[in-house]
Amino acid sequence: MRFWNRKEDRATQAFRSRNAGVILTLSLVLMSGAIGRPSVTAAQEKPATNQVTIDNFSFGPMELTIPAGTAVTWINRDDIPHVILSVDHKFKSRALDTDDKYSFTFQDPGTYEYFCAVHPKMTGKIIVK
């Protein structure tokens, strides 16, 4: 007997018709990628990383835009110390050795340019909206 000509008993036909909707729905959900992907709401609830890394005598990112009231953390990944100093002297870190951190909270909107007091060619900018 050929596959396409075979006759199914009533129990098999009932099983197929009852489960066809479930299989179709599950297939559509899996194809849409809705399972296993974080929702937009969950992503929005996570706090943003406002971090500047000091590595290879440079700040990364060199420019960071943040909302007012946000803290920024600098982390020194270089093997030598660095001192973060704003051009307008609103913030200044102590000498940061390897893996040391410094944080500053930016309360007021504006543009804050900064540099390394030990290596003045190292510059960066924080834009507060």
Element holding 71 (H helix, E strand): strand 70-76
* Amino acid at the residue 25: T
User: What is the value of pTM for the model shown?
Assistant: 0.63
Residue boundaries of the structural domains of the chain: 3-43, 47-128
Question: What is the Cα–Cα distance from 109 to 26, expressed in whole angstroms?
Answer: 49
Model pLDDT for residues 8-60, shown as the tens digit of each residue:
566 656 556 665 565 555 555 555 555 554 444 444 444 457 999 999 999 99
Q: Which fold has domain 47-128?
A: Immunoglobulin-like (2.60.40)
**Are 92 and 112 contacting, i.e. CB atoms less than 8 angstroms apart?**
no
Q: What count of Cα atoms within 13 Å lies in the side-chain half-sphere of residue 121?
A: 2
Query: What local confidence, expressed as pLDDT, does residue 33 receive?
Result: 56
Band of residue 2 on the pLDDT scale cut at 50, 70, 90? low
Q: Percent of the chain at pLDDT above 70?
A: 62
What values do phi and psi take at 85, rounded to 5?
-140, 130
**Are 112 and 125 contacting, i.e. CB atoms less than 8 angstroms apart?**
yes
pLDDT of 85 higher than 70: yes
CB atoms within 10 A of CB 116: 24
Model pLDDT for residues 93-120, shown as the tens digit of each residue:
999 999 999 999 999 999 999 999 999 9
